Amino acid sequence: MERFASESEALAHTLAEVLAEKLERKSNFFKENCVRNTCYVRMNRYPPCPKPSEVYGLMPHTDSDFLTILYQDQVGGLQLIKDNRWVAVKPNPRALIINIGDLFQAWSNGMYKSVEHRVMTNPTVERFSTAYFLCPSYDAVIECSGDCPSYRNFSFREFRQQVQDDVKKLGYKVGLPSSHKEVGDTHSTTRKKEVPSLKSEGEGIPALFVRGAPEQIWIKVRNDGIRETIKNMHTKSRARIQVVLSIYDLK
C-alpha cells in the first residue's frame, strides 16, 4: 500500500503538471500546494447485492480534489457520464483510471471538466478498488484562470467545509462557487439528481480517462511517455479538451 501511494503521488504530480502546462499555467503549483497530509489513499469494498439494479455501490458524484488515480479489480461496476449516458469503464489489469476533480475544473476555468461517476453493485461477487486523491493544503487558494473566470477564488478548507455542509443538509454536493455567487448557492459542478433516461453501455472504455471536451483524443503513451505525448498533442480548440489516455504500462 505504501508503494501504491508513493507511485500514485508521483504519477498524479506528473499528470497535473502536464495538464497545467497545456493551460499555460505554472506547473509548480502542485508541488508547492499539494501536501501529503491532505492527499490520501482510500480502499473500497463493495459487497455483492442480490438486486444490483436497485442499489448503488456508490452514488453518482464528482470528486472534490484535483485528480483521482483509481485502480479497480476485474469485477467492474464503475460507470461515468459520456454524451448524456452512463458508460461502463471496462476493467483492465494494466490500466489506471484518472478522474479530473472539482478543483481542477475551477482552476482551469472549466477547460477540464470534473467527471461524474458512480459504482454499480454485482449480484454475486464483491468488488475492490483503491484510489489516490490529489488534494491541496487546506489554506491553498484555488484561483480560476482566464480573463473571464467562471468561479471565484476560494480555499480548499472553505470548499471542503461547504461540501460537508451541503451533504449534511441536502444529501448531495452543490458544487463550485461561481464568480458572482457565494459558496452555498446553486452551482454547476455537481448535479442535484441523476441525468434522466440514462442507459448503460456494456462495452465500456478500457483506458486511462481524463474528462474534458469537444474532441476525444486517444494517446499512445507506451513509446513516448505521458508527458511528451500530451505536450505534443494538437488541440483545435482551447475552450474544452477531452483527453482519453490509453493504457499506461504499470511495469
* Domains of the chain, CATH where assigned: 2-149+191-245 (2.60.120.330)
Q: Each residue of 60-107: pLDDT tens digit?
A: 889 999 999 998 888 888 999 888 899 998 888 888 899 999 999 999
pLDDT at 247 over 80: no
- The predicted-structure confidence for 134-176, as pLDDT tens digits, reads as follows 999 999 999 988 778 899 999 999 999 998 898 888 877 877 8
Q: Residue 41 — pLDDT band, cuts 50, 70, 90?
A: very high
Would you put residue 95 in left (φ > 0), alpha (ψ -120 to 50) or beta?
beta
Q: Does the pLDDT of residue 244 top 50, yes or no?
A: no
- Asked if residue 113 has pLDDT above 70, the reply is yes
What is residue 181's predicted lDDT score, i.e. its pLDDT? Answer: 46
Which amino acid would we find at residue 166?
Answer: D
Parallel, antiparallel or unpaired: strands 67-72 and 78-82: unpaired
- Annotated catalytic residue, options 3, 25, 94, 127: 127
pLDDT over 80 (residue 202): no
Residues 6 or more apart in contact with residue 9 via CB below 8 angstroms: 36, 39, 132, 134
What is the number of alpha carbons within 13 Å of residue 200 lying toward its C-beta? 15
Q: Which residue has the cell 463550485?
A: 176
- The question of whether 127 is a catalytic residue gets the answer yes
Q: What's the pLDDT at 231?
A: 52
**Mean pLDDT computed over 111-130:** 88
Mean pLDDT, rounded, for 114-136 = 90
